């Protein structure tokens, strides 16, 4: 359904287009891509900033609630062949000739207690995000979670907001800071003038233990006052000037449209598959070694239909720590592995001192080659190969002329398969029930639905509880510890005869040979599944002592969306499933319903979670549902007073929460 703007009436959404912020074995031949072809350029400082929070806005509907003309991210939508770029040819053994069956997996046990939990608190919520900066924000889902810990602090970010906590007990040390303001931009929307600011998406966070610096990175899309995109987009990086994130930060805005403008290379992106246009850096993720900080992205046409390849933006850690007037940025362009474009090449994070010194410094990364096939060219949505990557000569990042190498290869792994959508335990869905209601009195006539839609857009009143998205089988967070590279991804599993979403995890032993090319194999791997339930959005982290954890969401026939985890050690031993915070109700956000997003809806459920270590304890961030309410509580008054807030536990358009959990080593 299209959204038509009626700013003076009851259209809470009031848009032309809805914006879903979304967003052991044989080795195949090595591909070495040589030096970083994108070159190095100086990025001037964009000034300084600090966390200056404003009071939250007020409950109730404000027009518009969804960003007009926003970027609807393509990733993981389950429609193979979505992009029109030329497909790489098949190579024997790289992609399956036909889809592989989902692995049959035994159900894990569920732990009866959580003795290793030192603290567990609600993190940022949709309500925090929407009402930040005095309410000058849009409704967004799902949460994209950033987390970093060090020097006594926890920095968490979700979508377009940030907050600082104490790592001692998870107590909040700041209010909720909107990221538009933090990065020096106008607000997402000025509720007084209606002017729309740049769109900030996909935050990630890193703590540099060697220099005691916090970093927050995201993609920003420039826009006109009406919300239309200008074509310019940047990788924005904020670095704390000290080890205290409550102090001053320095900002760097890296032009990233890669269309030849603003010092960027020209990657041939289009506006329609033919006419030249800007590229767009999606799904940024961050890692580090002794010498550098590495931000990987997936590059698409901003306005057109094509996917390019993964890119890596590399910075000197030492240079960033000094917050100079300009920093060097080295771009590693258009990554490929065995003839396929790289997709979600996730650079590894490491605890202090757990870095590879090979080839004058090496940063490792992992990827998969399945997804839905749109980006990788694999039409089956299934695979049993992993991509292993290495950026070499990283010590050169501290010189005036960095000379990085990149090498990649595929290695055999267990099977992973595009996961199904996740069912969830039945419960109250007041937003869905509101759309279906045709009798409750409102100022506009009978029917709760009239709070959102004008009569000519009356919905079908047939909404049902949703099946949250399980994303796809891309690699999620990776860690390099004690010479082993760890990663995890989503996969379909068959558990107790049912097809469910589960988790595949991998341990890889990588090294660089005498010719400077990467070698390695999967040394340990396994699956995690739970009968009658789904496990989604895994995030893995390890301490130097070889103790780890994998965070995820748990949802299904017997669980509302909950925050779960397992413990794992360097031997590959995986413990039972723990529920750190049990969900209280179903997901009930606007992406769940046809009336808002079309048919079929795609309930957006986290594009990524987070897991980090401060060298001892492990911190986890997962999405869950931390509230529930009835339609009567959602719509307590015919005059729409306190509409949708359910006593201050949610907003009218979404009810997602995040959960932060601290585990002992």
Q: Which of 12, 18, 3, 130 is nearest to 62 (CA)?
A: 12
Q: Is the predicted pLDDT of residue 32 greater than 50, yes or no?
A: no
> In angstroms, rounded to a whole number, what is the distance separating the alpha carbons of residues 463 and 594?
7
pLDDT at 93: 57
pLDDT at 374: 86
pLDDT at 94: 85
The 10s digit of each residue's pLDDT in 486-509 is 999 999 999 999 999 999 999 999
Q: Is the predicted pLDDT of residue 458 greater than 90, yes or no?
A: yes
Q: Can you tell me whether residue 25 is helix, strand or coil?
A: coil
Query: Residue 181 has what DSSP assignment?
Result: H
449, 436 Cβ separation under 8 angstroms:
yes
* Token duo for residue 398: 């501290």
Show the beta-strand stretches assigned E in 63-178: 117-122, 145-150, 153-158, 161-166, 177-178
376, 340 Cβ separation under 8 angstroms:
yes
Query: Residue 176 has what DSSP assignment?
Result: P
642, 611 Cβ separation under 8 angstroms:
no
pLDDT at 389: 98
E strand or H helix at 567? strand 559-569
The rounded percent of the chain whose pLDDT value lies above 90 is: 87
Cα 401 from chain centre = 32
> In angstroms, rounded to a whole number, what is the distance separating the alpha carbons of residues 37 and 34?
8
Question: Mean per-residue pLDDT for 256-275?
Answer: 96
Q: Parallel, antiparallel, or unpaired for β 161-166 and 346-347?
A: unpaired
* Token duo for residue 65: 């609630």
Q: Is the predicted pLDDT of residue 515 greater than 60, yes or no?
A: yes
pLDDT at 652: 97
Q: Which of 433, 329, 335 is nearest to 376 (CA)?
A: 335
Question: Mean per-residue pLDDT for 30-38?
Answer: 45
> In angstroms, rounded to a whole number, what is the distance separating the alpha carbons of residues 516 and 14?
56
Query: Residue 349 has what DSSP assignment?
Result: B
The 10s digit of each residue's pLDDT in 329-342 is 999 999 999 989 99
Bridge partners (DSSP) listed for residue 239: 215, 250
Give the CB-side neighbour count of residue 557, counting CA atoms within 13 A. 7
569, 549 Cβ separation under 8 angstroms:
no
Residue 76: phi and psi, rounded to 5, are 65, 30
If phi > 0 it is left, if psi is from -120 to 50 it is alpha, else beta; for residue 260 that is left
DSSP for 371-427, please give it: TTSTTT--TTSEEEEEEEEEEE-GGGGGSSS---EEEEEEEEEEEEEPPPPPP----
* Token duo for residue 465: 């509880």
Q: Output the average pLDDT for the chain.
A: 91
Query: The dihedral of CA 548, 552, 556, 561: what is its sign?
Result: positive
E strand or H helix at 59? none
The rounded percent of the chain whose pLDDT value lies above 70 is: 91
The 10s digit of each residue's pLDDT in 270-318 is 999 999 999 999 999 999 999 999 999 999 999 999 999 999 999 999 9
Residue 209: phi and psi, rounded to 5, are -75, -20
Q: Is the predicted pLDDT of residue 35 greater than 80, yes or no?
A: no
Kindly give the residue spans of alpha helices, DSSP state H, lying in 83-125. Answer: none
Q: Is the predicted pLDDT of residue 87 greater than 50, yes or no?
A: no
Q: Is the predicted pLDDT of residue 75 greater than 60, yes or no?
A: no
586, 426 Cβ separation under 8 angstroms:
yes
Query: The dihedral of CA 488, 490, 496, 497: what is its sign?
Result: negative
Query: The dihedral of CA 41, 45, 50, 52: what is its sign?
Result: negative
DSSP for 87-125, please give it: PPPP-TTTS-SSPPPPPB-PPPPB-S--TTEEEEEE---
> In angstroms, rounded to a whole number, what is the distance separating the alpha carbons of residues 468 and 555?
9
The domain limits of the chain are 31-49+98-663
417, 400 Cβ separation under 8 angstroms:
no
Residue count (the chain): 665
Q: What is the pTM of this model?
A: 0.93
pLDDT at 70: 61
477, 487 Cβ separation under 8 angstroms:
yes
If phi > 0 it is left, if psi is from -120 to 50 it is alpha, else beta; for residue 103 that is beta
Query: The dihedral of CA 291, 296, 299, 302: what is its sign?
Result: negative
Task: Read off the pLDDT band of 60 (50, 70, 90).
Answer: confident
471, 76 Cβ separation under 8 angstroms:
yes
The 10s digit of each residue's pLDDT in 532-563 is 999 999 999 999 999 999 999 999 999 999 99
pLDDT at 90: 43
Q: Is the predicted pLDDT of residue 371 greater than 70, yes or no?
A: yes
Query: Residue 574 has what DSSP assignment?
Result: B
Q: Which of 208, 158, 144 is nearest to 477 (CA)?
A: 144
Residues 6+ apart with CB under 8 A from 480: 289, 348, 349, 350, 354, 355, 356, 364, 486
The 10s digit of each residue's pLDDT in 230-243 is 999 999 999 999 99
Question: Mean per-residue pLDDT for 421-449?
Answer: 97
Q: Which of 572, 557, 563 is nearest to 522 (CA)?
A: 572
pLDDT at 37: 53
């Amino acid at each position: 359904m299209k959204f038509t703007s009626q700013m003076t009436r009851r259209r809470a959404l009031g848009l032309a287009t809805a914006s879903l912020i979304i967003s052991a074995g044989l080795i195949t031949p090595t591909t070495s891509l040589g030096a970083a072809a994108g070159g190095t350029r100086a990025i001037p400082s964009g000034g300084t900033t600090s966390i200056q929070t404003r009071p939250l806005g007020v409950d109730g509907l404000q027009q518009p609630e969804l960003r007009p003309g926003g970027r609807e991210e393509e990733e993981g939508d389950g429609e193979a062949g979505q992009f029109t770029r030329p497909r790489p040819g098949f190579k024997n053994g790289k992609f399956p000739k036909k889809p592989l069956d989902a692995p049959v997996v035994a159900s894990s046990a569920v732990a009866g207690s959580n003795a290793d939990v030192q603290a567990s608190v609600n993190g940022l919520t949709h309500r925090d995000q929407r009402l930040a900066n005095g309410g000058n924000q849009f409704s967004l889902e799902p949460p994209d979670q950033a987390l970093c810990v060090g020097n006594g602090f926890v920095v968490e970010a979700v979508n377009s907001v940030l907050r600082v906590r104490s790592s001692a007990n998870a107590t909040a040390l700041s209010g909720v800071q909107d990221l538009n303001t933090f990065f020096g931009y106008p607000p997402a929307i000025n509720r007084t003038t209606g002017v729309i600011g740049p769109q900030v998406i996909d935050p990630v966070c890193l703590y540099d233990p060697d220099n005691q610096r916090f970093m927050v990175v995201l993609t920003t899309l420039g826009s006109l006052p009406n919300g239309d995109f200008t074509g310019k987009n940047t990788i924005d990086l904020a670095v704390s000037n000290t080890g205290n994130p409550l102090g001053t930060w320095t900002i760097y805005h890296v032009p990233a449209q890669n269309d030849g403008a603003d010092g960027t290379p020209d990657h041939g992106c289009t506006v329609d598959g033919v006419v030249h246009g800007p590229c767009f850096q999606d799904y940024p993720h961050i890692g580090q070694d002794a010498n550098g900080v590495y931000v990987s992205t997936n590059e698409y046409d901003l306005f057109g239909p094509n996917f390019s390849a993964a890119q890596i933006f590399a910075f000197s850690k030492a240079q960033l720590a000094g917050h100079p007037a300009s920093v060097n940025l080295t771009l590693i362009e258009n990554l490929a592995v065995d003839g396929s474009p790289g997709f979600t090449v996730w650079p590894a994070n490491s605890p202090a001192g757990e870095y590879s010194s090979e080839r004058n410094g090496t940063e490792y990364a992992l990827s998969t080659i399945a997804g839905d096939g749109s980006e990788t060219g694999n039409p089956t949505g299934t695979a049993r190969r992993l991509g292993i990557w290495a950026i070499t000569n990283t010590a050169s990042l501290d010189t005036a002329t960095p000379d990085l190498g990149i090498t990649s290869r595929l290695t055999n792994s267990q099977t992973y398969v595009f996961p199904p959508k996740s069912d969830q335990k039945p419960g109250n869905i007041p937003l869905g029930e509101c759309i279906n209601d045709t009798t409750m009195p409102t100022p506009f006539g009978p029917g709760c639905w009239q709070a959102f839609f004008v009569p000519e857009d009356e919905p079908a009143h047939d909404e049902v509880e949703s099946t949250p998205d399980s994303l796809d089988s891309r690699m999620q967070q990776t860690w390099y510890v004690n010479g082993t590279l760890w990663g995890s991804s989503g996969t379909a599993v068959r558990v107790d005869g049912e097809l469910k979403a589960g988790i595949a995890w991998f341990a890889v032993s990588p090294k660089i040979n005498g010719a400077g090319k990467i070698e390695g194999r999967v040394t340990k791997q396994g699956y995690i599944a739970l009968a009658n339930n789904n496990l989604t959005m895994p995030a893995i982290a390890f301490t130097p002592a070889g103790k780890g954890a994998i965070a995820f969401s748990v949802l299904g026939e017997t669980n509302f969306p909950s925050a779960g985890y397992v413990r794992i050690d360097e031997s590959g031993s995986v413990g039972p499933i723990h529920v750190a915070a049990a969900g209280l109700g179903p997901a009930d956000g606007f992406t769940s319903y046809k009336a808002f997003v079309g048919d079929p809806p795609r309930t957006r459920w986290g594009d990524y979670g987070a897991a980090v270590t401060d060298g001892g304890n492990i911190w986890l961030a997962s999405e869950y549902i931390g509230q529930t309410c009835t339609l009567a509580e959602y719509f307590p008054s015919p005059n729409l007073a306190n509409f949708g807030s359910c006593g201050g536990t949610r907003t009218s358009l979404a009810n997602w929460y995040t959960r932060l959990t601290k585990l002992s080593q």
